[in-house]
Structure 1
Amino acid sequence: MTRRFVVIDFETTGNSAAKGDRIIQIGAVAVEAGQITERFSTFIQPGVPIPPFIEQLTGINDEMVKDAPLFEEVAPKLLQMLEGAYFVAHNVMFDYSFLQGELDHAGYSRLSMPLIDTVEMSRMLLLGADGYQLGMLADYLGLEHLNPHQADSDAEVTARLLIHLLEKLENLPLATLERLTPFLKKLQSSLESIVGDMIAEKSAFLADEETYDFYRKLALKKRPDFVQSSDDDFTEFKDEEVHDQLQQHMQHYEVRKSQQRMVELVDEALHTNQHLVIEAGTGVGKSLGYLIPGIRHAKEKDRPLVVSTHTVQLQQQLLERDVPLLKRIMPFDFTATLLKGRNHYLCLRKFEHTLMDHHDDNYDMNFTKAQLIVWLTETETGDVEELSMASGGKLFWNTVKSDANSCLNHRCPWFSRCYYHKQRRAAHESDLVITNHALLFTDLKSENQLLPAYKEVVLDEAHHVEEVVSDHFGKETDYFSFVKLLDRLSQTDGDGMMNTFREICDLLEVPKYEHHLANWDTLFSDVKNELDEIFKQIKNICLKKAKSSRSTELTKLTLRYTKQDIEAAAWEPVLEMEARARQFMGDLVKPAKRVLKSFDQYEEHLTVQQKGFLVDLEGILNDLQDEMTDLHHLLSCPLSEEVYWMEAESKGPRHAVTLYAKPVEIDQILADKFFGKKSSVVLTSATMSVKNSFRYLSERLGLLDFGPISAQLPSPFQYEQQAKLMVPTDIPLINEVDQKTFVKKISSSLYEIAKVTKGRMLVLFTSYEMLRETHGAFKSLMDAEEFVLIAQGVDSGSRARLTKNFQRFDNSILFGTNSFWEGIDIPGDDLSCLVIIRLPFTPPDQPVMAAKSEKLKAEGGNPFYDLSLPQAIIRFKQGFGRLVRSSRDKGAVFVFDRRMIETRYGKSFIQSLPKLPVSIKPIDELVSELDDWME
C-alpha cells in the first residue's frame, strides 16, 4: 500500500498559536514511495508585525510579506495536499497546533489525521546522532540545508530526513519490528500500521543471519569473535622506525622532541620497575608517548598494560583514534579492549523481562524500550555511552543495567551473549586494557577481581586520582536511595516484587514461607516511616544550624559534623530511630532471604524468568542491607581519619538531605594498596606540577617514599606568538562590592570583548549562581540574536553537546563551570578568547578541604600555601589549556581577578604558565589592544 506523507514547516511570529501568534511562511513537501512528488511554499501576510527576533532568526521581514496572500487564500491548496495524507513535521505538535489555529481563524473545520514527528522518529532510529535539531541531523546525514529557519528549506530537509527514517525502519529485521509493535501505539507518531505492513512484507523473506544474531525473539548485531594476538609475532623495533611509520600514516605529523623523550622515560620506568610522574604539555602527544613503549613492553613480557583515564572522551579517543593507528604501524599484532564498570552495560535478561511487562503507560519508559530494541541491532558493546537518553530513559536504564547483585552468571540464558561478560573476557585476553579511574579503584577495593591481573599501569589525567580514590573509599546515602529500593519491593499499585514473590511461593507450595513473611507488610511500613522521620530530623538539624551560622537564602546548605556533634542532645532522637530502623530492616530482610535460600531445592521447577526474578529480588534485599550499613556508619562517625558532612536543598523536599563520609587523606591507602603492589605506575597529565615541582602531587598520592622518576615535557606550541594573557585593573574583587555590582561590571566587560572577538569565547566560572546571573545580565545588554549564548545549567544537554552547539554557531559564547575547566577540545577559529572570571580556589569551608586544612595545621603546615594554592594553580592551568589546542590556534586569555597581580601568591599562577606576553591595564585599553592584536 502506497502512503502519502506531507511534510509541513511553518515560520511564525512566535511560539504560541493560542496566544495569537501567526504563520508568516509555509513550506510543504509531499512524499510517496520514498520520492518527493510535490512541493509548495509561500509567504503569508500575518496581519501583525514580525517581531525583531523572528526577523533575525528567519531573515523574513514585514516588507517581504506585505503583498503575500492571507492564510485563508492558500488554505484550499494546503488542504488539498493534506487530504488522505500523514501530517509530518519536525516537532509535529508545534506545526499541527498552528495549522489548527489558522483553520479556526479562517472558519474551516479542524483536521483529524495521523501524525508523524521526525524528532521522535530520529531519537528512536538515529541513536548515534549528536543532537536532534534539524540542522544537526542534516549535518549527521549529509543532507544539504541551504536556508535554515526558512520554511521551504526546512520542509525539504525534513522530507529527506523522513525518507531516510522510513528506509531505516523498513530495513530493520522482522524480529525487531515485531518487538517494537507493542510500544508504537504509545508514541506520538502514527507508525503502527506502517510497521504492520512492513512486517507482513518481511514475513516472506529469510532472516539476515550474517548481520544479526536472532535469539529469544530479539535481533542483536553480530559481534566478531575476539581473537587473541599471537606471542610468536613479537618483533623488537627502534623508536625511529615507529616515527617513520607515523610520518607515513598521519597528516601533519612532526617529530616532537618532547614526545620522543616521553617514549624513552616510559620505556625506562617499565623496564626498571619504577614509578614515573610525567607532565606533558598540550601538543606533546602523550597518548602515543606512553602507548608505543607500553604495548611493546606488554608483548615482550606477555602480560597486559592497563591504561586508565578519567574521562569517557579520552577512553574513546584512545580506542578509536590511537589504537587503530598503532595497529597499522607496529611491527607486530596486539589486542586492545575498553572495559568500564558493569553499570555501563545493558543486562539482556533484565531488558527481555521488561519487554513482557506492558502495564506501564509511561511515555518515557515505552519510548526507551523502543530505542533499546533498535539499538540492539547496532551495538556491539551494549555500552550506555552510545545512547542519548532523556531523563526518563535514564531512570529506566537503572532497571536494566548490569550489576553484580542480580547476575545469574552461567545460569543466565543470555550469558554467552552478555555484553559485560564478553567485554570482561576480552579484557582478560588483551595486551592493552583501557579503563577508567573509577573502575580501576573499584577493582582495588573489590573482593572479586574485575580487571585482569596486571603489574604495569598508566594513569592518564592523573591529577584526578586523589579525588576519585577519595570518592571510592567514602560512603554516601540519602532518603531517596532507600525509597527507590523499597518502592520496587512493594509498589502502591500492588505490582511490587514481594507480591510476585508470594505468587511464586504459592505456585511451588514453598512450606513455611507464610510463617517467615507473616510480619513483612507491617515491618515494611515501620522501616519506611522510621527512615522518613530520620531524614526529616537530619534536615531540620541542618536548617537550624544554617540559621544560626549564615543566611538561609543559600539554596544548597552544607554542614560538617563530627562524633562530638552526634553525641549532642539534638541527635538523640535520630540515633534512636536509626537503631529501630536497623532492627526493622534486619527483621524485614533476613526472613525473605531465608525463603529465597530454600528455592535451591526448586531449581528444576523454575522458569528462566522466575530464576531471574529471584536473583533480582535478592539483589535488592542486599542493596537495602548495604544502604542501612552505610547509614549506620554515617551516623556513628567511627573513623577519626574520615570527614563527615551533610548537604541539603533549603527549599527542597522535607527529607531531601544527603550524608557523606570521605577519607581526609588517601596517601597511605594508595601507598599500601596500589603503588607498593605494582611494578610500574606511570602518572601523566598536562597539569601536575606546581612551581616546577611534583612534590605537592607526590605527597597527596603517597608517592614520595617510592622515589619516582619525574619529568616536565614542554609543549611544542609557540605561546609567545599564539597567546596573550590580559588582566584588567579596574574590575573589582568580589569582596569589595555586592554580587549584583560585580556581575554588572563583568557582564559589560564580557560584552565589549565579545564585540571584538565576534563571540567565539569561552567564559569559565567557579559558581553556577554567578554563571546564571551573568548570563541574564549579558543577555539584557545585547541586541536580539547578536550573539548565541550557550550556558551550562541554563541550556540543557551534556558538556559534549553544549560544546558542539558552540562550534556550530557563528558569534557564539559558551558559559561553563566545573567540568568545562578541562577535557573540552575546541581547536581552530571556533575559540579565540578565554575568560577566567575568578581564580579557582576551593572554598575553605568545603568539608574535605576544611578537614585537610585542620590536619595540615596540626602537623605544622600552612593550609593555604601547602594545599589551597597548589590545588588552584593546577585547576587554573587546566582552564588555561582550553585555549591553544594546536600549532595553528591563536587567542587571548583574560583573568578578571586582580589577586593575580596584587597579591604575593598571584605571581605563582603566572609562573605556572608557559612564557607568554602579559598585559595589565584597564579593561577598555585591553579591549583596544585585543582588537589590534587580533587583526
Structure 2
Amino acid sequence: MGNRYVVIDFETTGNSPMKDRVIQVGAVLIEDDKIVERFSSYVNPQLPIPPFVQQLTGISDEDVQKAPIFDDIAPDLWKLLDGSYFVAHNVPFDLAFLQEELANSGYLEFKGPSIDTVELSRMLLPHIESYKLNQLAEYLDIEHENPHRADSDAEVTARLLLFLLNKINTLPLLTLQNLEPLVRQLKSDVEGIFRAEIQAKLKSLLKEEDNVDLFRQFAFKKQIELKEDYSSVPSFQDLKESILQTLSSSMKYYEARKGQVEMMDAVDEALDAHQHLLVEAGTGTGKSLAYLLPSIVYGKKEGRPMVISTHTVQLQEQLLDRDIPLLNELLPFELNAAVLKGRNHYLCMRKFEQHLSQTVEQNYDTILTKAQLLVWLVETDFGDVEELNLPSGGKLLWEDVKSDVRSCLNHKCPFFSRCFYHRAKRKAQQADVVITNHSLLFTDLVNRNQLLPAYKEVVIDEAHHLEEVGGNYFGVQTDYFSFHQLLDRIGDSADNGLFSKAAKLCEEIESSISKADIKRIDEALKNVLVEGSDLFRMLHTFVSRKHKKSPTEIGRVSLRIDEEIEKNKLWASILETTARVTSQLKDLANLLSEVNKALREKEEHLSLKQSGLLVDYEGMIQTVLEQHDKLDYLLLNRHVDEVMWLEAEIKGPRNAVYIFSKPIEIADKLADSFFSKKNSVVLTSATLTVNENFDYIIEHLGLEDFVPITKTIPSPFHYENQAKLMIPTDFPLIKDVKQEEFVEEAAQSIYQIANVTNGRMLVLFTSYEMLRAVYKRVKELTEKFILIGQGVDSGSRAKLTKNFKQFDKAILFGTSSFWEGVDIPGEDLSCLVIVRLPFSPPDHPILAAKSEKLANNGGNPFMDLSLPQAVIRFKQGFGRLVRTQSDRGVVFVLDRRIISTRYGKMFRQSLPAVPIMKGPLYELLDELRGWL
C-alpha cells in the first residue's frame, strides 16, 4: 500500500510513564509491505527493575547496567519515526512512554498517525478468543521466541500488522464500503488505508470471489446446501469391527479402549431396545466417540435425526470441530451435522441493516461491534454470537440486532433466504445429527417441540446438569436490569427508542395518534420507571435487612420468601408497590397498543423498513405484558411446590435485585413431558453415581418408573501411579477457629505446597469471600508466584485459565465454575488444592426447600440431598487434575472431615483407586518432594 510503518514495543519498569522508565526497546520498519529494518536495545532506566517485571520479561538489573540511557537512542528512534505510522500492540501504553521519554530527551512529541494492532485485530479477527499478542501469534502461527521482550514483541506485532493489512486487501468491496464510515471513528488512523483499498478495487473492477454472496449491499460467505443421502445403512454391530480397525490404523495415537467399546455397545443396546440408559464414563474413556458412533448409525438407519445435547459451548465445539469430521472418515456414508441454539444466538440481518443506517451519535463499542459484524458476515456459516468476541458495550448492541420470535417478519423479510436462524433450522431438519444444548432442549420442551426437528432418541452429555437447567426452564424469573433495559428500549418520545420511532412514523403517515396521546404515553413510561425503581430498591433493602451475614459479603446474597417473611410490614408495602407497578405496566401496554393499532390501519402505506419497525414495536408490547405477568406471578401469587426467593448484590447498585420462583422438584415434570415421550434417552457424564450407585440421579430426574439401564465405565488412567490424595491432619476445621485464623492457615499451607510444586496449582474454594481473603494473604506472603483469582482478576474462566498456562510459577484461585470444565493437561497443572468439601450453603433457597420437603416425607436431608450433591461436585473437582495418560499430580484436601467423619468415606470411595496419605503437612510435603 506504499505506506511506511514503524512498529515499536517497550518493556518498562511499570505502567506509569510519569514515574516508570523504559528498559528495552524493539522497533521494526515496514515499507512496501515488507520488513526492511530492525532496531533493538536495552535501556538503562537509572532505577531498579521490580521483581515482577524481572520475572515477566527476564530482564535483570545486570542486563541494563551498561546499556545506553534513552537520550542516547532517541535520535535513532526519531529518525525511524519521521514520516511513518506509529504502530504498537496497545498504542496508548507505548505511545505514552514514547512521548514522555522523548520529552525527557529534549525532543518534540510525535504527532504522526498511529495504528493499534489490538484494535485492528478486534475488528478484522472478530472471532478470536483473546487479543493478547502471544495468543494472536499462536493463532496465526507466527513464531514468538521471547514473549514480553521488546525485540520479539515488536517482530511479532510487525508480522501481525502485515497479516491485518493483507486481510483488508482481501475483504470484498461492499464490506470495505460499509466499513469506511465506521473506521473513521476508530482510534487508529486507518481511514486512508481503507479508502485507498476501495479506490484500487473500484479501478480494477475485479469480479468478487466465488465464495462471496452479495445481497442488499452486504457481502456474505456463500453457503453450500446439504445434500440428501438416501443410501441404506447397516447396523452399528455390522460396522463396529471395521470402524475400530480404521481407527487403529489411521489414527497414530489411537488406542482401542475396552471401556469405550463397552460404552458403544451399551448405547447401541439401549437405542435398539427403546430403553433409557445412564452411563458414568471416567475421564479418558473417549465417551464422545462412544455415544456418537452407535447413536448416529442408529438414527441414520431409522431415518430420524439424532439429537446430542451438551451443557457447555466448549463441548459443542469439540463435537463439531473434532469428532464429527473424524466420524465422516470412519462411516460409510456422508454425515450431515447441524448445530442449533436458542434463537437469540443468531444475528437478525433486518435489524442489523437498520442499525447500520442509523446516523445518531454512537459510542466506541457500538462502532467497533458494527465493524466486527461486517467482517464476520464474510466468514461465518452460522451467524452465531458465540463465534464472536464482542466488546462489553457490543453486547448491548447485540440485544438490538439478535433474532427474536416477536420481531420476525418470516417470509415477508427481505433477508429470509439468508436468515441465520432459519438457515440453522433448515440444516437441523436435514441433518443426521443435531448438536444442541440443555437450555434449548428445555426451551423446545416448554414450547411444545416447535424448535428442534421431531426426534425420538437423544444423547445428553454432561447430564449431571440436567436437573439444574430443567429447574430454570420450569421456573420464572426477572430482575431490575431486564426491567430497566425494557423501558430503556421503549424510550420516551424524545429518545431514540422504539416508541420515539413509532411516534415519528405516526406523524409521517398522518395517523390518528395525537400529541396528547404521545404525552400520555411519556407520562405512563415515567410512572412505571419511577415506581419500578422504587419496587426494586425496596426489595434490595428488604434483603439487606433480613440477611444475617456481614454486609461486606462479596457477590449476591439470597433470601427465601416464606410465610413468616410475608408477615413483615415492609413486605406488605412491597406488595402494594408491586400491585401499582403491574397495573401501570398493563396501562402502558394498552396505550402503546393504541399506537400500534393506528399504524396497522395505515399498513398498506408502510415501506418494508417501516413494517419492520412495526413488528419490533409489537414484540416490545408483548415483552411489556410478559414483564407484567412475571411480577404478578412472582410477587402477588403463591405457588404450591415452588420456592420463591430474592437475590441481591449487597454492595452493588441499590436496586440490583433478582427474583426467582422454581419448582422444588422437577422429577414428575421430566417423567411426564420428556422421558415418557422418548424411545431412548442416553444420559452420560463423568459424575453420575454416588456411593457407587445411580439412585440419586434416577430419583431426581424422575427415571424410577422407567427402570433405566445403568453402566459404570472406569477411567483407563493409572491413578495409583499418576496421582496422590494428601490430607493434612494438622489443618484446623473451620468451625473450630475464627475465620481470620482459618484464612491464615489456608494461605500458609498453599504457600508451602506451592514452594514444593513450583506453583502450577489450582486452588478450589466454595465461596468468593474465602477465595478473596486467602488470595490477598498469599499475595502478602510471596512475590515468587503469579496469582490469578476468579473474581479478583477480570475475565472469563477460559481467559483466566489461559493466563495461568502462560506462567511457569502460577497459582490459580477458583470457585463455582472452576470445579468442572477446566482442562489443563500436562505439566501446567501438577497440584490441586480443595480448601473445603463442596457442600452447598444449607440456607440456599432451593436446597432449603428440598430439605424441608424431604424431612416432611421422612427422609434425611443431609444424607439424601446435601451429601450426594457435594460428592458429585467433589468428583468434578478431582477430575481437573489428571486429564491424559501422562499427567501426574497431587490433590490436597484441607478439609479433615474427609477422614474424621463417617460420611467422609463416601467422598473417598467416589474417587478412582488413588493412594491416600494423611499426616502433618510437613510430612506430606517431604513425601511429595520425593514423588515429584
TM-score for both structures, normalised by structure 2: 0.97
Structure 2 distance, partners of 1:63, 1:281, is 51
Q: For residue 772 of structure 1, what is the amino acid of its counterpart?
A: R
Q: Check conservation: 2:2, 2:33, Cα contact below 8 A.
A: no
Structure 2 distance, partners of 1:104, 1:311, is 52
Q: For residue 110 of structure 1, what is the amino acid of its counterpart?
A: E
Aligned to 1:740: 740
Structure 2 distance, partners of 1:697, 1:251, is 38
User: Structure 1 residues 144 and 658, CA, compared in 2 at 3 Å: closer, same or farther?
Assistant: same
Aligned to 1:872: 870
User: Structure 1 residues 563 and 416, CA, compared in 2 at 3 Å: closer, same or farther?
Assistant: farther
Report the CA distance between 1:600 and its aligned residue: 4.2
576-585 or 110-119: bigger deviation: 576-585
Q: Check conservation: 2:493, 2:522, Cα contact below 8 A.
A: no
Report the CA distance between 1:849 and its aligned residue: 0.2
The 3-state SS of whatever aligns with 2:440 is helix
Structure 1 distance, partners of 2:913, 2:48, is 56
Q: Check conservation: 1:249, 1:325, Cα contact below 8 A.
A: no
User: Structure 1 residues 113 and 595, CA, compared in 2 at 3 Å: closer, same or farther?
Assistant: same
Answer yes or no: is 1:81 the counterpart of 2:110: no
Q: Check conservation: 1:560, 1:847, Cα contact below 8 A.
A: yes
Report the CA distance between 1:49 and its aligned residue: 2.9
Structure 1 distance, partners of 2:563, 2:510, is 50
Aligned to 2:112: 113
Answer yes or no: is 1:474 the counterpart of 2:475: yes
Report the CA distance between 1:378 and its aligned residue: 0.9
563-572 or 145-154: bigger deviation: 563-572
Structure 1 distance, partners of 2:767, 2:267, is 38
Aligned to 1:645: 645
Q: Check conservation: 1:562, 1:637, Cα contact below 8 A.
A: no
TM-score for both structures, normalised by structure 1: 0.97
Q: Check conservation: 2:513, 2:598, Cα contact below 8 A.
A: no
Structure 1 distance, partners of 2:476, 2:901, is 38
Structure 2 distance, partners of 1:493, 1:64, is 63
Aligned to 1:635: 635
User: Structure 1 residues 83 and 137, CA, compared in 2 at 3 Å: closer, same or farther?
Assistant: same
Structure 1 distance, partners of 2:805, 2:61, is 31
432-441 or 226-235: bigger deviation: 226-235
Answer yes or no: is 1:161 the counterpart of 2:164: no
After TM superposition, the structure 1 = structure 2 runs for residues 92-241 of structure 1, keeping only pairs within 5 Å, are 92-203=91-202, 204-232=204-232, 237-241=238-242
Q: Check conservation: 1:220, 1:376, Cα contact below 8 A.
A: yes
Structure 2 distance, partners of 1:894, 1:53, is 28
The 3-state SS of whatever aligns with 1:457 is strand
Aligned to 1:696: 696
Report the CA distance between 1:111 and its aligned residue: 2.4
Answer yes or no: is 1:884 the counterpart of 2:855: no
Structure 1 distance, partners of 2:657, 2:379, is 41
Structure 2 distance, partners of 1:229, 1:716, is 37
Report the CA distance between 1:198 and its aligned residue: 0.7
512-521 or 805-814: bigger deviation: 512-521
238-247 or 167-176: bigger deviation: 238-247
Structure 2 distance, partners of 1:551, 1:156, is 52
Answer yes or no: is 1:773 the counterpart of 2:773: yes
793-802 or 411-420: bigger deviation: 793-802
Aligned to 1:56: 55
Aligned to 1:396: 397
1:93-121 CA distance string (max 9 Å, x none): 11111111122222322221111111111
Q: For residue 38 of structure 2, what is the amino acid of its counterpart?
A: R
After TM superposition, the structure 1 = structure 2 runs for residues 894-913 of structure 1, keeping only pairs within 5 Å, are 894-913=892-911
Report the CA distance between 1:564 and its aligned residue: 5.4
Aligned to 1:807: 805
Report the CA distance between 1:282 and its aligned residue: 1.3
Q: Check conservation: 1:186, 1:361, Cα contact below 8 A.
A: no
Structure 1 distance, partners of 2:332, 2:309, is 25
Aligned to 1:915: 913
Q: For residue 15 of structure 2, what is the amino acid of its counterpart?
A: N
Aligned to 1:316: 317
Aligned to 1:816: 814
The 3-state SS of whatever aligns with 1:391 is coil
The 3-state SS of whatever aligns with 1:206 is coil
Aligned to 1:495: 496
Answer yes or no: is 1:295 the counterpart of 2:291: no
1:484-526 CA distance string (max 9 Å, x none): 1111211585322212111211222223566765621221112
621-630 or 1-10: bigger deviation: 1-10
Report the CA distance between 1:231 and its aligned residue: 4.2
Q: Check conservation: 2:282, 2:714, Cα contact below 8 A.
A: yes
Aligned to 2:7: 7
Aligned to 2:929: 931
Answer yes or no: is 1:827 the counterpart of 2:825: yes
136-145 or 86-95: bigger deviation: 136-145
Answer yes or no: is 1:415 the counterpart of 2:416: yes
Structure 2 distance, partners of 1:814, 1:200, is 51
Structure 2 distance, partners of 1:82, 1:404, is 54
Paired residues, what number?
A: 929
Q: For residue 293 of structure 1, what is the amino acid of its counterpart?
A: P
Structure 1 distance, partners of 2:76, 2:683, is 69
Aligned to 2:383: 382
Q: For residue 149 of structure 1, what is the amino acid of its counterpart?
A: H
Q: Check conservation: 1:337, 1:427, Cα contact below 8 A.
A: yes
Report the CA distance between 1:601 and its aligned residue: 5.0
Taking only the aligned residue pairs, the percentage that are identical comes to 54
Q: Unaligned stretches of 5+ in structure 1?
A: none
The 3-state SS of whatever aligns with 2:41 is strand
Aligned to 1:450: 451
Aligned to 1:276: 277
Structure 1 distance, partners of 2:506, 2:310, is 47
Report the CA distance between 1:33 and its aligned residue: 1.1
Report the CA distance between 1:34 and its aligned residue: 0.7
Q: Of residues 853, 856, 860 in structure 1, which corresponds to 2:854?
A: 856
Q: For residue 751 of structure 1, what is the amino acid of its counterpart?
A: Y
Report the CA distance between 1:436 and its aligned residue: 0.4
Structure 2 distance, partners of 1:672, 1:448, is 14
1:645-702 CA distance string (max 9 Å, x none): 1111223222222111111000111011011111111111111111111111111111
After TM superposition, the structure 1 = structure 2 runs for residues 327-338 of structure 1, keeping only pairs within 5 Å, are 327-338=328-339
Q: Check conservation: 2:579, 2:636, Cα contact below 8 A.
A: no
1:62-118 CA distance string (max 9 Å, x none): 333333333223222221211111111111111111111122222322221111111
Q: Check conservation: 1:825, 1:882, Cα contact below 8 A.
A: yes
Q: For residue 32 of structure 1, what is the amino acid of its counterpart?
A: E
User: Structure 1 residues 107 and 334, CA, compared in 2 at 3 Å: closer, same or farther?
Assistant: closer
User: Structure 1 residues 55 and 916, CA, compared in 2 at 3 Å: closer, same or farther?
Assistant: closer
Q: Check conservation: 1:427, 1:451, Cα contact below 8 A.
A: yes
1:860-897 CA distance string (max 9 Å, x none): 00000000000100111111111122222221111110
Aligned to 2:750: 750
Structure 2 distance, partners of 1:458, 1:65, is 61
Q: For residue 281 of structure 1, what is the amino acid of its counterpart?
A: G
Structure 2 distance, partners of 1:563, 1:481, is 27
Aligned to 2:582: 582
Q: For residue 423 of structure 1, what is the amino acid of its counterpart?
A: A
Report the CA distance between 1:253 and its aligned residue: 1.8
Structure 2 distance, partners of 1:494, 1:747, is 53
Q: Check conservation: 1:566, 1:636, Cα contact below 8 A.
A: no
The 3-state SS of whatever aligns with 1:293 is helix
1:350-369 CA distance string (max 9 Å, x none): 11111111323311111111
310-319 or 585-594: bigger deviation: 585-594
Q: Unaligned stretches of 5+ in structure 2?
A: none
Report the CA distance between 1:415 and its aligned residue: 0.8
Q: Check conservation: 1:231, 1:302, Cα contact below 8 A.
A: no
Structure 1 distance, partners of 2:679, 2:49, is 71
Q: Check conservation: 1:12, 1:22, Cα contact below 8 A.
A: yes
Q: For residue 799 of structure 1, what is the amino acid of its counterpart?
A: R
Q: Check conservation: 2:267, 2:295, Cα contact below 8 A.
A: yes
Report the CA distance between 1:27 and its aligned residue: 1.7
Report the CA distance between 1:125 and its aligned residue: 1.3
Q: Check conservation: 1:344, 1:401, Cα contact below 8 A.
A: yes
User: Structure 1 residues 78 and 912, CA, compared in 2 at 3 Å: closer, same or farther?
Assistant: same
Aligned to 2:350: 349
Structure 2 distance, partners of 1:460, 1:476, is 26
Q: For residue 839 of structure 2, what is the amino acid of its counterpart?
A: F
